[in-house]
């Protein structure tokens, strides 16, 4: 096989591969792409751009947030960009999730931020008859979840604005839809050290979440306790938050 020197055009370019690689570079440079933007930049039909982005998503080079915008995925970002590999984080956190689950008897989840959404990467289901089921593998709007809000509270103002250029999307429950009001809520979350989701992602469910940090104090994920609202009066929230903070502190030594 003849090697092509750097800077020269391959004699027999494969168009689909060329477009996919150009799309990876675009995604890394611009950090956010819609299908229409990708089609215009590549000079291809929208259906072709959609297939290419879908391929990148399948292989971890792209993720799609709740606004249908594509952003760099874990395979493109990598650990060097400050992202802890999900499977490694899940393996490290699993004993801590199990211990927390045993202590409180409720469903617990581990999640990571992807664009303006959160992905649930692991969890342990509660032992009560009335309990919340696992959401592992699901992608939900970050501003409607406790762990998502805890992670968003860690972002600089400029990054938060970039995630919501058109304001907050409408959730299924009583989630805030006004961005300035949401910023004030995030300030409160930073001050008290935990976030709460009162039926904002699903009716009848209350959740409390805290951020996980690595040894350099960078946020790498969040853990949350999810409880049926009928069994979670407001005075119980600080108790759950304390259990979560203690778990996060123990976990930080292993991350």
Kindly report, residue by residue over 214-227, the tens digit of the pLDDT: 888 889 999 999 99
The CATH fold assigned to 15-77 is Arc Repressor Mutant, subunit A (1.10.10)
User: Who contacts 107 (Cβ-Cβ below 8 Å, separation ≥6)?
Assistant: 101, 123, 124, 125, 126, 131, 132, 133, 134, 225, 226, 227
The predicted structure's pLDDT at residue 114: 86
Percent of the chain scoring above 90 in pLDDT: 34
* Dihedral pair phi/psi, residue 254, rounded to 5°: -100, -15
The predicted structure's pLDDT at residue 171: 63
The pTM for the full model equals 0.68
Within the chain, where are the H helices? 15-30, 35-42, 46-58, 74-77, 86-104, 146-152, 157-163, 179-192, 237-252
Kindly tell me the burial class for residue 230, based on how many C-beta atoms sit within 10 Å of its own C-beta (0-12, 13-18, 19 or more): exposed
The predicted structure's pLDDT at residue 60: 72
Mean pLDDT, residues 34-50 taken together: 88
The CATH fold assigned to 86-252 is Beta-Lactamase (3.30.450)
Sorted by where each begins, the domain ranges of the chain are 15-77, 86-252
The predicted structure's pLDDT at residue 85: 58
* Dihedral pair phi/psi, residue 139, rounded to 5°: -120, 120
More confident residue, 6 or 240: 240
- 117-128 pLDDT, tens digit each: 898 999 999 888
Measured in whole angstroms, the distance separating CA 247 from the mean position of its chain's CA atoms is: 20
């Amino acid at each position: 096989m003849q090697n092509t020197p750097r800077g020269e055009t391959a004699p027999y370019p494969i168009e689909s591969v060329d477009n996919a690689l150009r799309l990876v570079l675009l995604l890394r440079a611009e950090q956010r792409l819609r299908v229409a933007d990708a089609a215009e930049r590549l000079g291809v039909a929208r259906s072709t751009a959609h297939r290419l982005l879908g391929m990148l998503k399948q292989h971890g080079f792209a993720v799609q947030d709740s606004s249908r915008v594509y952003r760099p995925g874990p395979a493109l970002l990598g650990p060097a960009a400050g992202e802890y590999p999900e499977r490694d984080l899940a393996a490290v956190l699993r004993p801590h999730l199990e211990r927390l689950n045993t202590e409180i008897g409720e469903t617990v989840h581990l999640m990571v931020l992807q664009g303006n959404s959160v992905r649930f990467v692991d969890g342990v289901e509660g032992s009560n008859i009335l309990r919340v089921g696992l959401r592992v593998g699901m992608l939900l709007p970050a501003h409607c979840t406790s762990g998502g809000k805890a992670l968003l509270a860690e972002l600089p103002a400029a990054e938060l604005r970039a995630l919501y250029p058109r304001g907050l999307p409408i959730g299924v429950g009583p989630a805030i839809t006004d961005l300035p009001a949401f910023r004030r809520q995030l300030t409160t979350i930073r001050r008290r050290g935990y976030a709460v989701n009162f039926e904002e992602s699903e009716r009848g469910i209350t959740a409390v979440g805290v951020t996980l940090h690595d040894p350099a104090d960078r946020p790498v994920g969040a853990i949350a306790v999810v409880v049926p609202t009928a069994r979670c009066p407001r005075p119980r929230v600080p108790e759950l938050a304390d259990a979560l903070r203690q778990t996060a502190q123990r976990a930080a030594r292993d991350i």
